[in-house]
């Protein structure tokens, strides 16, 4: 690899023939906080017709946009990317979350709820996965938030899943636990 140290990204792409490597290079950048470079490699993978990693790249590009980590982050773009891969359960869930909460231009709580509940239903049909850990703690929280906004007792279940999936070593997870517990307290106070 040392022989490639002085190549630009475009030059390196010319020397990279393993199309799966493009996805993993993007994810390696992501893990190190290099979101701009992650976006470049994931977009390269997504746009490579026939690349078996294109769907995963599309999902992760959606996450970059949704989380504000993409250089041109846009929740509308995240929604477009998630809708591009409708068979991915996590894409369906996150499209639903974006519709429910609203993007820059789209807000449709009914459609959001429909997509979220369809994703949950599809998750229940999956075999060979730990269903409690399939969605991230923030995704479980967002499902709970949807039911919370409706004063629906289902919110308890999903806030508890969010709490159970948190790692208290991370400040963001500790904050999520606080928010979920506060929402549970409000539901109890209101007799939901």
Q: Could you state, in order of their start, the residue ranges of all structural domains in the chain? A: 1-73, 137-192
Question: For each successive 10 residues of the chain (192 residues), what is the average pLDDT?
Answer: 53 63 91 94 91 94 95 96 96 97 94 97 92 94 97 97 95 96 97 94
Provide the pLDDT for residue 78: 97
Provide the pLDDT for residue 5: 54
SS3 9: helix
Quote the pTM value. 0.86
- CA triple 187-97-170, angle to 5 deg: 70
Distance CA 16, CA 21 (A): 8
Provide the pLDDT for residue 8: 63
Q: 62 and 90 in contact (C-beta within 8 Å)?
A: no
Distance CA 81, CA 42 (A): 12
Provide the pLDDT for residue 51: 86
Distance CA 23, CA 18 (A): 10
């Amino acid at each position: 690899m040392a022989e490639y140290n002085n190549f630009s990204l475009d030059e390196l792409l010319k020397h990279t023939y393993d199309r799966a490597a493009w996805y993993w290079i993007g994810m390696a950048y992501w893990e190190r906080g290099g979101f701009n470079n992650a976006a470049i490699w994931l977009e390269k993978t997504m746009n490579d017709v026939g690349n078996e990693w294109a769907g995963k790249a599309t999902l992760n590009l959606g996450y970059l946009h949704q989380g504000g980590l993409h250089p041109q982050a846009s929740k509308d773009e995240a929604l477009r990317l998630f809708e591009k891969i409708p068979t991915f359960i996590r894409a369906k869930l996150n499209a639903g979350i974006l519709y429910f909460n609203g993007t820059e231009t789209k807000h449709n709580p009914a459609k959001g709820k429909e997509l979220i509940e369809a994703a949950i239903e599809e998750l229940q049909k999956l075999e060979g996965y730990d269903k409690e850990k399939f969605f991230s703690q923030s995704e479980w929280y967002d499902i709970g938030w949807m039911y919370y906004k409706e004063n629906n007792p289902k919110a308890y279940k999903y806030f508890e899943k969010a709490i159970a999936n948190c790692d208290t070593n991370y400040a963001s997870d500790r904050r999520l636990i606080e928010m979920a517990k506060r929402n549970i307290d409000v539901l109890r106070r209101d007799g939901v």
